[in-house]
Structure 1
Amino acid sequence: MSQNYTQITSQIGTQPYDVYQPNGCVQSETVGCTQDSKDKLNGNSKTTPVVQQPAQPSLTVADAIAKMMEDLGVCCAFGVNGGAMAGIWGSLSNSLIRVLNFRHEAGAAFAATEAYFASGRPTVVFTTAGPGMTNALTGLFAARGEGAKVILLSACTSSPQRGRWAIQETSTDTLPTGGIFTPGVLFNYATTVESAAQLPQIFRKLALGLAQPGGFVAHLSIPTAVQTSAIDETLASFPGVHCSLVTSTQETIIRTAQLLSEGPFAIWVGFGARDAAEEILQLAERTGAAVMCSPRGKGIFPEDHPQFVGVTGLGGHGSVMTYMQQQPPLRTLVLGTRLGEPTSFWNPLLVPPGGFVHVDIDPTVPGVAYPKAETFAIQSDIKAFLQALLQHDDLLASASVTSLWLPCPEREEMAPGSESPVRPEVLMGAIQKVIVEDSDAIVLAECGNSFLWSTHLLRFTQANRYRISTGVGAMGQAIAGVVGAAAVRHGKAVAIVGDGAMLMNNEISTAVKYQIPAVWIVLNDARYNMSHQGMSMLGLKGADALIPEADFAMIARGMGAEGIRINKETDILSALEQAMAATGPIVIDVIINPDRRAPSKGRNQGLASQGAKPTSAEKTELHVSFPQVSFPNV
């Protein structure tokens, strides 16, 4: 027979005390008396045994916040524990959310960012007070720049202890309030939870922010004492919140179709269009338009398609400039890219005569990178916009492009030889075959020369398989992020990284703890080679970018992972195959030729437009007349 339980709450001092009776019967209980005293008070002639159940813990603010995160769709939380946030840590650990304890808060934030992009679900970063929170800020800065949806749960000092030199004090006495504990350029939404009564309002604001297209980075700072304070159970019940997509009007759609029908047009695809790959392909094939993409947009439009003319910007292809100079379109339809420096170098040759039709969910984006170019700006969800545009067959038919020939991205394939050290081009060819073509693994490229080699030489035919950071470009994002990506997809994720970044911030130990099948391919050249090559190309001498050669295979084994060191090109394929077959984390340490120049291509043209001119088409040595030049522009 089933049993029903009724809860009766009394008090021992200030502590709740719960007594349960079966079958719906309620028994009053006098607390703090002996059994004989209870019998006398109740008029009992004999002692009746009373079975006391263990006291049930009260619901706390931390419990309610963990439940809130579940209701918001969070599946994973990444962080580093600490005493000031024990309440939050404990509640997350006992929730339905998977909690992964990292070795550094920046690594946790990078992992949370890449976990979001790999899963499409918001993620949590948890940190303790003081340096725990500030360590995470670089990763959260990257999350905001990349357009991720991440919530930081941090601890702060309780109000009675503020200003009294508490351990790792986190308050307005020790940290600036603006931009960290309030909304600003770092956080879309931020607040300090001083009372449980705030939770329903906080939930609504988080839910609205997460429901909108684009990124959303939030920060809830919870004082240590507040985390464990008891609350009414009703405060842990959060209603659903519904948002509609931002779409353009029918008049805007018709005007767009008219503009595109006035002459040949191109399509410039950015990372913000990653959910509209099918619609972009339909539009391109229906009209014959040439398609190019930003570095972050690789794979959204298949890179083996005959209408694909190449990647623009950092690590891009000269074929784009060939197209723009030999078959310039009247207009370019820009989808989901800010056209910033890493994507365009603000090169005026990329501006077509009729200007841009620029679609973005963020109304502040169109017209900023090229303020002098004619721009028809449209605020809309890109998938919804293209679906509406594709309904106008009559106008799109007149927009069809007749092109006898479109340039394709240049190929620089090299057959493996007996070369030692390994040429990066050969390594990328092997990665293309074993990882890109023969697996479904996500590939992340670290900033620096790893980014340039990967972007220029790898070819993707699917969206959401290639991840790089072109905005913040923080060292360590791919190295730590690969753990988050592999964790949420329960499958392979591969990071192509440099030795300098690998020494700065890696989470091999975390991957070992949870047996996450992350793969690191290290381009080991014993230097910060983008800086080393950049200084040489700028003609600046004396700066030291060399670092002692590290054995990353040995380091990996010392942490409990697998490690393979490659010195010869003939060993690359077998090592990569072994890495993809491994069930746990593995590091492939590749000794590469440091003298192979990373592909610059469009970078030199971008620099030339700012005042620096190459001495010849064959040489990459530059005489610089522009005084403020960064290495990615060289």
Structure 2
Amino acid sequence: MNLKSITKTLNPLEQLQKSTAIQPNLLSLDQTSDLTVAAALVKTLEDLGVRYAFGLFGGGITPLVASLEQSSIQVLQFRHEAGAAFAAIESYFASGHPVVVFSTTGPGITNALTGLFAARWEGAKIIFLSPCTSATQRGRWAFQETSLYTMSNTGIFTSGTLFHYATTVECSSELPKIARKLLAGMGKPGGFVAHISIPRAIQTSSLMTPLPRVNFSQSSVTAGEDAICKSLQLLCEGPFAIWVGFGARGAAAEIRQLAERTKAAVMSSSRGKGIFPEDHPQFVGVTGFGGHSSVVKYMQEHRPLRVLVLGTRLGEFTSFWSPVMVPSRGFIHVDIDPEVPGTAYPAAETFAVHSDIGAYVKALLKYFPQTYGLSPILPLPRGDRQLIKPYGEGLVRPELLMDAIQRVIVEKSDAVVMTEAGNSFAWGTHTLRFTTPGRYRVSTGFGSMGHAGTGILGAALARNRKAIAILGDGAMLMNSEITTAVKHKIPAVWIVLNDARYNMCDQGMNMEGFYGVDAEISTADFVMIARGMGADGIRVDSEFDVEAALETALASTVPFVVDVAIDPTRPAPIGTRINSLISSQ
């Protein structure tokens, strides 16, 4: 089948924004006269599909939290606002429903900022609710004053790089406009992080303006006929590979069909693990940090004419901007964000397509028949697993721990697995293999410690199943929310690589030639800590005990910690990251 015959059969494809017209129904003044602004805002959140609100309240936000407690939204009080925000991110990705994060004034807001920055980077839909100092008290050194007098240049109160939409509610009549802004943001493709700041006096004031009750609908962007025609032309010119990212998670079946029909090799970002089965014969490996050398070998020995990039920014942790990853004739880069294509590799030839990934791949599939093949399947290099036998003595090797996690957790359960920033991320990405999307989560954008350790609460709650965090002792000591999991009976499991140090920093500095820097941490007994908080745990000192400990954790009916005495001398697969740091000097 040649290009001429393909393009001749093309039917005009509408370039449109699929969205349902929204006809808001206004509540009459009689219906709203008994509502406070706080209660009215909560009703809007319910209409938007919010199921959970995570945070830590204080005096400034009390009326709004009380209204949340009286609604259908489940409220969870966390121990730290950043943990609440990380949990909200993972709850969103697990369920597709927007999540509320709340805090009190001053430090409550600033504590939440790390998690909110991560939400923006990750592409989650989060609504942050906070109080601010009342207008009559601003500039007078009110306790924990939260206003433009004290936070004028922080970006907390204005739409911009942190918040897609931010506003301070000064009177009840602003609420209908805010409701419509939230509705528009939640309906757009991609992430949306909003901040609604409300003085306590406004929270308790009566609603004086009819409130729109809105029907929430999602929208998607579909590539036009010209983009599909051009893509077909470029892809038919010769062998191509497919590079799958997290943004393609909703199109797993279609991507597999496209790969099998065209015989294209497939690689993925770390966040894209499992979207294309990692045991498939056409899968060559994971790219970037913790990735596989088989990808580099493929690009060097079987360099494709082009690479079809689906839903990944090709940022540093996905590509390290390596020239090896640039195909001979450039990229076809498809993304829901029109600013993404061409950014990572500005000098490479790039055909940019602004589209939802699923809609784009479905359009391509119409013109690739079942028997169509652009090239034969070659013996592709692969990052194959190796069975690791346990030693009778010594500390637990991380390779053996990951091999046991693969067999016990990945292959024998449906638990979500998250890896934390650091060596845990590298080991998990490099060694674990997933065959379905949504089972593996990692933050490659903001990469904050504490994200996985607290994010599993949101994932487990939203999915109503086990969620596993693989993290180091440093991250576990920083933010874990064990007591929150205990209180709400959330089936969270923490697997702690306990090596009494910040080992990625330690190993990384040694690889760069910097020695003698103190990266050690006093040894912590995480089983004792867990039990002291009402959870349970088990200590693993022998490689022969690893598998049984993981099985015990999966069977536990309470939050559970597996405290593994890890060998700190085993070099983690972080060399690409270190080389990237050195090359940036």
Bin of the TM-score, shorter chain as denominator length: over 0.9
Task: State how far apart, in whole Å, the 2-side matches of 1:170 and 1:415 are.
Answer: 57
SS of residue matched to 1:206: helix
- 1:79 corresponds to which of 42, 45, 55: 55
1:102-117 equivalences under 5 Å are 102-117=78-93
One-letter identity of the residue aligned with 1:453: W
CA contact (8 A) 2:179 2:212 kept: no
Match of 1:331 among 306, 316, 320: 306
Match of 1:302 in 2: 277
Q: Write the mapping of 1:105-504 to structure 2, written as runs, cut at 5 A.
A: 105-176=81-152, 179-232=155-208, 235-240=210-215, 242=217, 244-393=219-368, 400-504=374-478
Choose from 463, 466, 486 the match for 1:512: 486
Q: Which amino acid aligns with 1:263?
A: G
Alpha-carbon distance change, 83 to 57 in structure 1, aligned in 2, over 3 angstroms? farther
Answer whether contact 2:56 2:80 (CA < 8 A) is retained: yes
Aligned to 1:295, the other structure's residue is in SS state: coil
Structure 2 runs not aligned, ≥5 long:
1-28
Q: CA deviation at 1:627?
A: 6.6
Give, in angstroms, the shift of residue 210 of structure 1. Answer: 1.0
Paired residues of 1:105 and 1:127 also in contact (CA < 8 A): yes
Per-residue CA deviation, residues 304-325 of structure 1 (Å, 9 max, x unaligned), is 0000000000000000011111
The amino acid that maps onto 1:311 is V
Pairing 1:572–2:546 present: yes
Partner of 2:499: 525
Choose between structure 1 and 2 for higher RCO, CA contacts under 8 A separated by at least 6 residues.
2
Residues 208 and 242 of structure 1 are in contact (CA less than 8 Å); yes or no, is this contact kept in structure 2? Answer: no
Distance in 2 (CA, whole Å) between partners of 1:177 and 1:151 is 21
CA-CA distance at 1:213 after TM superposition: 1.4
Structure 1 CA distance for aligned equivalents of residues 527 and 553 of structure 2: 12
1:46 aligns with none
> Is the 1:339–1:346 Cα contact (8 Å) retained in structure 2?
yes
Q: CA deviation at 1:601?
A: 5.7
Alpha-carbon separation, structure 1, partners of 2:213 and 2:33: 21
TM (norm. structure 2) is 0.92
2:6 corresponds in structure 1 to: none
- The answer to whether the 8 A contact 1:355-1:373 is kept is yes
- Indicate the SS of the match to 2:76: strand
For residues 308 and 164 of structure 1, the distance between their equivalents in structure 2, rounded to whole angstroms, comes to 62
Partner SS for 1:106: helix
Give the superposed CA RMSD: 1.8
Provide Cα deviations, 1:400-435, integer angstroms capped at 9, x if missing partner.
221331111132431223133100011001111111
What CA deviation, in whole Å up to 9, does each residue of 1:228-268 have, x standing for no partner? 00114x63442335564211111211110110000000000
Q: Determine the structure 2 residue equivalent to 1:98.
A: 74
Q: Helix, strand or coil: the match of 2:392?
A: coil
Q: Is the 8 A contact 2:299 2:325 kept in 1?
A: yes
User: Closer, same or farther in 2 for the Cα pair 1:191/1:591, shift >3 Å?
Assistant: same
Q: Supply the distance in 2 between the matched residues of 1:182 and 1:531 (Cα, whole angstroms).
A: 36
Residues 261, 373 of structure 2: 8 Å contact kept: no
Q: Give yes or no for contact 1:204–1:241 (8 Å, CA) kept in 2.
A: no
Q: d(CA) in 2 for partners of 1:576 and 1:197?
A: 55
Q: What residue identity is the alignment partner of 1:347?
A: S
AA of the residue aligned to 1:273? A
Preserved contact between residue 307 and residue 331 of structure 2 (Cα < 8 Å): yes
In structure 2, the partner of 1:43 is none
Q: Which residue of 2 aligns with 1:35?
A: none
Secondary structure (helix, strand or coil) at the match of 2:131 reads: strand
Could you state the TM-score of these two structures normalised by the residue count of structure 1?
Answer: 0.85
Structure 1 residues not aligned, in runs of 5+: 1-8, 10-15, 17-55, 613-625, 629-634
Do the aligned partners of 1:357 and 1:378 also contact (CA within 8 Å) in 2?
yes
CA distances 1:455-479 after superposition (whole Å, capped 9, x unpaired): 0000000101100011111010001
Are 2:583 and 1:583 equivalent residues in the alignment? no
Q: Tell me if structure 2 keeps the 8 A contact 1:66–1:91.
A: yes
Name the aligned partner's letter for residue 70 of structure 1. Answer: E
Aligned equivalents of 1:336 and 1:267: distance in 2?
A: 11
Which residue identity does 1:508 align to in structure 2? Answer: I
Distance, in Å, in 1 between the alignment partners of 2:212 and 2:180 is 12
Higher-Rg structure is: 1
Partner SS state of residue 445, structure 2 = coil
Deviations 1:587-631 (A, max 9, x none): 100000000000136546x54xx8x6xxxxxxxxxxxxx573xxx
Q: 1:227 to 1:508 in 2, by over 3 A?
A: same
Tell me, yes or no, if the aligned pair for 1:264 and 1:399 is still in contact at 8 Å. no
